[in-house]
Amino acid sequence: MVAKQHKFLLEESELPTRWYNIVPDLPSAPPPPLHPGTLQPVGPDDLAPLFPMELIAQEVTGDSYVDIPDEVLDVYRLWRPSPLYRAHRLEEALGTPARIYYKYEGVSPAGSHKPNTAVPQAYYNARSGVRTLTTETGAGQWGTALAFACAQYGLECKVWQVGASYDGKPYRRSVMETFGASVVRSPSELTETGRKMLAEDPEHPGSLGIAISEAVEVAAQDDATHYALGSVLNHVLLHQTVIGEEALLQLAKAGDVPDLIVGCTGGGSNFAGLAFPFLREKLAGRMDPLIRAVEPASCPSLTRGAYAYDYGDTAGFTPLLKMHTLGHDFVPDPIHAGGLRYHGMSPLISHVYELGLMEAMAVAQTECFDAAVTFARSEGIVPAPEPTHALAACIREALACKASGEEKVILTALCGHGHFDMAAYDAYLGGRLVDEAVSDERFADPLTRLPQVGG
């Protein structure tokens, strides 16, 4: 028997030392965010109450690369470079001639890709004199990542956890507290927004929109307190490009060139982190992979949303972002992939999609969990519900290759493990998981519900 290599590892000395910014390599720049009052492009001063200047500069930089600070690299090295796996045993289970690779981010302290941006965000905030970071968390991945990151630089971390999640996922709270964060049920008595909601309903289950509003409200009141966001924004996508830069090196070590790159999209940061460095290579003519985003059927912002200016949050506090959106008041079905339940899509990914540089598809959740169980039994990793969307798309493609005999090279992002999401597997294995509602009425023209922006 010839030994099959499963893992393609990098030494710590091969960890990327720069983040990659795709904007200057695109044929045109993405439309700017607009101030919701003036409808003019937002400037650094508009963002300064929430973010440190170094992150604001990264948000708008025209440079192709941004150096990663040594103090960030030192923390990245706790788990990075992350492994690239060849899914030999999955391929055998499917009987496909396709070669499937997955880049696994579940080795991080939070069990997902989120610390890739939480760590630099905490670092730049600490360096600018901030003492406390606030944020919201729904599924819990982002709150866990920021809790860990704040512990590295001596920052206090306050997390507003959506009430229903706080009540139903007490162990996610325990992880955040283990990393030193204080976790508050949202809506809370600590903010005007929260008090208003609690006055309406003392047992209000909360929502991500409300939790964002609470975290932003507290951050805006105090110069030593800032806010941190885990997806959507340019600087977040920038930080995640370490994923793709490593995968480029690892796939070269494996001696393969990708025909297809597949990632799941919610806000888009995991997808962009893997895909953008490969898109750079594609734009430069050095390879020609198809790049495919996979979104949940319940929340298909790319495949069924409008491309228009909309708010990033439900309450309408944020700048207006030009993006694919189902409308900021859209409430997705309560699927188990909580990290993908976002009404919009990162403006940068939306722009890349409009440029025709990538494609998108939507998958319903039972197909995702079918894929997850097949994957777990062959590869030994129980995936988070979010990347099961990408796995389902990989398996579709691998079975198409089985039918056609094509030996395609497929690369996907396994952005996290599902150890804190076993309730979803329990529902699936117990036959209680149902697919989302995907009627046309469900996604009726969001343009009628969008803010009016001229031009």
Question: Which residue ranges make up the site for a copy of itself (CB under 8 A)?
Answer: 1, 3-7, 9, 11-13, 70-71, 73-74, 77-79, 89, 107-109, 111, 115, 148, 151-152, 170-171, 173-175, 177-180, 372-373, 376-382, 417, 419-420, 422-423, 425-426, 429
Between 1 and 403, CB nearer to a copy of itself: 1
DSSP string, 26-41: SSSPPPPPB-TTT-SB
Q: To which H or E segment does residue 243 belong?
A: helix 234-254
Tokens, residue 182: 């204080």
Contact 257, 282 (CB under 8 A): no
Between 181 and 393, CB nearer to a copy of itself: 181
**Alpha carbon separation from 303 to 156, 158, 296, 299 (Å, rounded):** 39, 35, 10, 9
- Closest contact distance (angstroms) between CB of 113 and a copy of itself is 14
- Closest contact distance (angstroms) between CB of 418 and a copy of itself is 9
For residue 182, the cross-strand partners are: 158
User: CA 208, 213, 218, 220 torsion: positive or negative?
Assistant: positive
Helices (H) and strands (E) in the chain, counts: 17, 15
Between 295 and 379, CB nearer to a copy of itself: 379
Between 39 and 107, CB nearer to a copy of itself: 107
Between 304 and 389, CB nearer to a copy of itself: 389
- Closest contact distance (angstroms) between CB of 125 and a copy of itself is 18
Contact 144, 179 (CB under 8 A): yes
Between 9 and 29, CB nearer to a copy of itself: 9
- Closest contact distance (angstroms) between CB of 75 and a copy of itself is 8
DSSP string, 262-314: EEE-SSSHHHHHHHHHHHHHHHTTS---EEEEEEETTS-HHHHSEEEEEESSS
- Closest contact distance (angstroms) between CB of 177 and a copy of itself is 5
Between 77 and 196, CB nearer to a copy of itself: 77
- Closest contact distance (angstroms) between CB of 348 and a copy of itself is 29
- Closest contact distance (angstroms) between CB of 102 and a copy of itself is 12
Best CA proximity match to 246, nearest among 394, 108, 357, 438: 108
Q: To which H or E segment does residue 451 belong?
A: none
